[in-house]
């Protein structure tokens, strides 16, 4: 437990003392919702959907920028190599990273919902909010694998650019900024093959009180397994290159 | 160290047999065997690219050897059981810049059963002024001091110090030499790589020299000097005294002072006394480690 506590303290202190991380990951989704999401949606159910979309966008942001960027930056540092000499298995540091991701995801989603209430004059009942939050935490799993795979594939110098190049188009293609019915037909056709679209479908179902469409459940399972396999492959290659 | 088990008290701190490692076509290390006993300091020396860092990473378990096997207190190198005994100075001290020295020391200490009090290490390594500041403003020397303290924070039985004083001022170097020697005398084991020969001489009991990944020389400092069998003789001759012609064969002259290295320093000294009534201020002293190795390399005895 002492080792886990030490890893939690290290992880949270590093992230909290780094505004470059928590400002974009926690504040930007709420800001973007306030500037664009709420206004474009107008009101009613469209505004609720928009809030759910930006909640998913927030989860993706944590995954890409906490896992993707921080893993790429850490894994090539001498400090990370030195950490491997400590008498602990990687479990503690992974658990700490995961806890931090969950806390930051919850904070980012909560801020989107609070902004929706404040700016969009949106009233979502507590049960719906809890359902959306629970779905977002589940969606954090495939998102985390996406971010982690990126962290092991990109170099520390390129990772921020690569993360943005994937994250922003994926958010657009998934219908998180512009609702799918408003997407051009060609984009909508592509959208159906993206993980972000199915994440969005899950979040929209949560605020609707519907069950998640089977196709989206299946797609999310496939994406989760696929990103897990990619993460494992990238991790193994990186480990072999640096420690083999 | 006091609470070491009977097992760790009797087995070597490091036991490595036939370690080899290739990186593509380059053979970084070949068939290296070495042993480090408890309470001993071993200097691993060699030129840049000799294979020192590769050897260290294999012994630390940070890389896998292609051939051979390394054990730390009887446990496979790199296993959690082995790592419980080990403290390491990171060669590049690039700590997370958002953290303070105290944060990082406390983080490392949490991994060990009987860590040293952080306050003691802070005092020992001159970090009092710095310990609660974020490390993004630290100089290279200040970061190096934190790296040194990190190696000892777990109260380890074995410390790997890879060029530990690179970038440190002379005060810091002296501080490390004193601390490391006291650590070894209290029963700790130390594997040190350094390009500071005086540091090796001050701290280490034995050295292992490698070149192009192969073992070149191994022994205690006294053995190496004795086997090299060379002493430096230096003396002065009164200004007006005649200088025998044979002196030039054995000595170089710098001003009034003559000096040279000889395997038969006693015989040469006797000859000097016999031939030079005006001989003054004669010194016969063993070569230091750097000179001994250089002499052996020049004479191709290693």
pLDDT in tens, A151-194: 999 998 999 999 999 999 999 999 999 999 999 999 999 999 99
Length of chain B: 302
Among candidates B92, B111, B134 on the partner chain, residue whose Cβ is nearest the Cβ of A88: B111
Residues of chain A found within 8 Å of residue B96, distances taken between Cβ atoms: 10, 14, 79
On whether both B62 and B208 belong to a single domain, the answer is yes
A242 to chain B: nearest residue by CA? B63
In a shared domain, residues B212 and B259: no
Cβ separation of B88 and A17 shorter than 8 Å? no
Lowest mean pLDDT among A206-210, B10-14, B131-135, B194-198: B194-198
Indicate whether B71 belongs to any domain.
yes
Span B27-31, mean pLDDT? 93
Residue B159 sits in the same domain as residue B135: yes
DSSP string, A84-107: TTSSS-THHHHHHHHHHHHHHHHH
Q: What confidence tier does A199 reach under pLDDT thresholds 50, 70, 90?
A: very high
The answer to whether the CB of A179 falls within 8 A of the CB of A50 is: yes
Interchain CB contact of B60 with A (< 8 Å): yes
State whether B131 and B64 are in the same domain. Answer: yes
Residues B260-286 have a mean pLDDT of 88
Q: DSSP assignment of A4-66, as one string?
A: HHHHHHHHHHHHHT-HHHHIIIIIHHHHHIIIIIHHHH-SHHHHHHHHHHHHHHHHHHHIIII
In a domain, B171, yes or no: yes
Contacts of residue A2 in chain B, CB cutoff 8 Å? Answer: 110-111
How many angstroms separate the CA atoms of B270 and B266, rounded?
6
Task: Specify if B301 maps to a domain.
Answer: no
For residues A129 and A117, the answer to whether their CB atoms sit within 8 Å is no
Q: Has residue B105 been placed in a domain?
A: yes
Buried b vs exposed e over A45-64: b needs ≥16 C-beta within 10 Å?
eebbbbbbbbbbbbbbbbbb
Asked if B18 and B177 count as a contact pair (C-beta separation under 8 A), the reply is: no
pLDDT of residue B2: 41
Q: Is residue B267 part of a domain?
A: yes
The domain that holds B64 is classified in CATH as: 3.40.50.300
CB within 8 Å: B91 and A88: no
Q: Are the CB atoms for B157 and B188 separated by under 8 Å?
A: yes
Based on the domain organization, do B118 and B262 belong to the same domain? no
Tokens (6 digits) for A34: 């306030």
Same domain, B150 and B70: yes
- Nearest CB to B99; choose among A2, A3, A14: A14
Q: In Å, what is the CA distance from B180 to each residue of B84, B98, B116, B173, B202?
A: 19, 29, 15, 10, 10
Calpha distance B23→B53 (Å, rounded): 13
- Kindly tell me if the per-residue pLDDT of B4 is higher than 60: no
Q: What pLDDT score was predicted for residue B150?
A: 94
State whether B64 and A243 contact (CB < 8 Å). Answer: yes
Q: Does one domain contain both B240 and B100?
A: no
Mutating which of A70, A75, A87, A96 best tests the B interface, going by the most B Cβ atoms within 10 A? A87
Full domain range(s) for residue B42: 6-225
Measure CA of the first residue to CA of the last residue in chain A; give whole Å. Answer: 30
Looking at the complex, report in whole angstroms how far the Cα of residue A26 sits from the nearest Cα belonging to chain B: 19
pLDDT of B3 above 50: no
Collect all residues of chain A within an 8 Å Cβ-Cβ radius of residue B64.
243-244
Using the beta-carbon criterion (under 8 Å), do B98 and A81 form an inter-chain contact?
A: no
Which conformational region is residue B167 in: left (phi greater than 0), alpha (psi within -120 to 50 degrees), or beta?
left
Say if B69 falls within a structural domain: yes
Please indicate, yes or no, whether residues B73 and B104 belong to a single structural domain of this protein: yes
Q: Are residues B168 and B251 in the same domain?
A: no
Residue B43 DSSP SS3: strand
pTM score, whole prediction? 0.83
Q: Is the residue at B297 inside a domain?
A: no
For residue B21, the cross-strand partners are B29
Average pLDDT, integer, range B218-243:
84
Residues B221 and B251 in one domain: no
The per-residue pLDDT of chain A, averaged, comes to 91
| Contact residues, chain A to chain B, C-beta under 8 Å | 2-3, 5-7, 9-10, 13-14, 17-18, 77-79, 81-82, 84-89, 243-244
B62 vs A contacts (CB less than 8 Å): 81, 84-85, 243
Domain match, B87 and B211 both: yes
User: Between helices B101-109 and B140-152, what is the axis angle to 10°?
Assistant: 20
DSSP state of A69: I
| Range of B32-46, B86-100, B215-229, B243-257 with top mean pLDDT | B32-46
Interface TM-score (ipTM) > 0.85 = no
Paired tokens of B137: 């403003």
Q: Any bridge partners for residue B45, and if so which?
A: B209
Going by C-beta distance under 8 Å and a sequence separation of 6 or more, which residues neighbour residue A32? A54, A57, A177
Domains in chain B, number: 2
Give the residue from A85, A89, A90, A239 with the most B CB atoms within 10 Å of its CB, the best one to mutate.
Answer: A85
Task: Tell me whether residue B62 is in a domain.
Answer: yes
Q: Is B106 on the interface with A (CB under 8 A)?
A: yes
B242 and B157, same domain (yes or no): no
pLDDT digits (tens, 9 = 90+) for A118-141: 887 788 889 999 999 999 999 999
């Amino acid at each position: 437990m002492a080792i886990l506590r030490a890893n939690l303290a290290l992880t949270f202190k590093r992230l909290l003392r780094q505004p470059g991380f928590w400002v974009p990951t926690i504040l930007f989704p709420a800001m973007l919702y306030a500037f664009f999401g709420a206004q474009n949606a107008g009101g009613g159910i469209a505004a609720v959907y928009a809030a759910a979309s930006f909640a998913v966008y927030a989860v993706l942001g944590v995954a890409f920028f906490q896992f993707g960027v921080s893993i790429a930056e850490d894994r090539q540092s001498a400090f990370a190599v030195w950490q491997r000499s400590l008498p602990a298995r990687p479990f503690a540091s992974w658990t700490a990273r995961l806890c931090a991701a969950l806390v930051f995801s919850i904070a980012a989603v909560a801020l989107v919902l609070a902004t929706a209430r404040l700016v969009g004059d949106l009233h979502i009942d507590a049960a719906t909010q809890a359902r959306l939050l629970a779905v977002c935490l589940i969606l954090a799993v495939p998102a985390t694998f996406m971010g982690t795979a990126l962290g092991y594939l990109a170099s520390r110098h390129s990772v921020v650019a690569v993360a943005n190049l994937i994250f922003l188009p994926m958010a657009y293609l998934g219908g998180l900024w512009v609702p799918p019915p408003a997407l051009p037909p060609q984009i909508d056709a592509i959208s159906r093959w993206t993980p972000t679209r199915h994440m969005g479908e899950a979040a929209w179902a949560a605020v609707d009180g519907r069950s998640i469409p089977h196709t989206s459940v299946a797609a999310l399972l496939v994406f989760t397994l696929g990103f897990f396999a990619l993460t494992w492959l990238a991790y193994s290659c990186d480990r072999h290159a640096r420690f083999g | 160290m006091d609470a070491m088990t009977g097992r760790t008290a009797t087995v070597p701190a490091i036991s490595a047999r036939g370690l080899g490692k290739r990186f593509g076509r380059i053979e970084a290390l070949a068939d290296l065997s070495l042993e480090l006993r408890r309470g001993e300091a071993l200097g691993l020396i060699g030129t840049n690219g000799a294979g020192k860092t590769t050897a260290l990473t294999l012994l630390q378990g940070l890389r896998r050897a292609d051939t051979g096997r390394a054990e730390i207190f009887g446990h496979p190198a790199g296993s959690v059981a082995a790592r419980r005994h080990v403290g390491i100075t990171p060669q590049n001290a690039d700590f997370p810049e958002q953290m303070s020295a105290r944060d990082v020391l406390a983080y490392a200490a949490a991994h060990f059963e009987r860590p040293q009090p952080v306050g003691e290490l802070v005092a020992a390594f001159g970090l009092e002024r710095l310990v609660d500041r974020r490390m993004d403003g630290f100089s290279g020397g200040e970061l190096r001091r934190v790296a040194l303290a990190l190696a000892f924070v777990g109260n380890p039985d074995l410390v790997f110090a890879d060029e530990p004083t690179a970038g440190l001022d002379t005060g810091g170097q002296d501080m490390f030499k004193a601390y490391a020697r006291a650590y070894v005398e209290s029963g700790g084991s130390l594997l040190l790589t350094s390009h500071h020969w005086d540091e090796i001489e001050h701290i280490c009991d034995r050295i292992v020299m490698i070149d192009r990944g192969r073992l070149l020389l191994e022994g205690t400092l006294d053995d190496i000097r004795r086997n090299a069998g060379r002493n430096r003789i230096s003396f002065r001759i009164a200004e007006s005294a005649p200088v025998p012609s044979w002196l030039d064969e054995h000595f170089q002259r710098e001003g009034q002072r003559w000096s040279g290295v000889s395997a038969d320093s006693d015989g040469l000294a006797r000859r000097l006394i016999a031939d030079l009534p005006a001989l003054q201020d004669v010194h016969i002293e063993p070569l230091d480690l750097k000179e001994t190795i250089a002499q052996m390399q020049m004479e191709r005895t290693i």
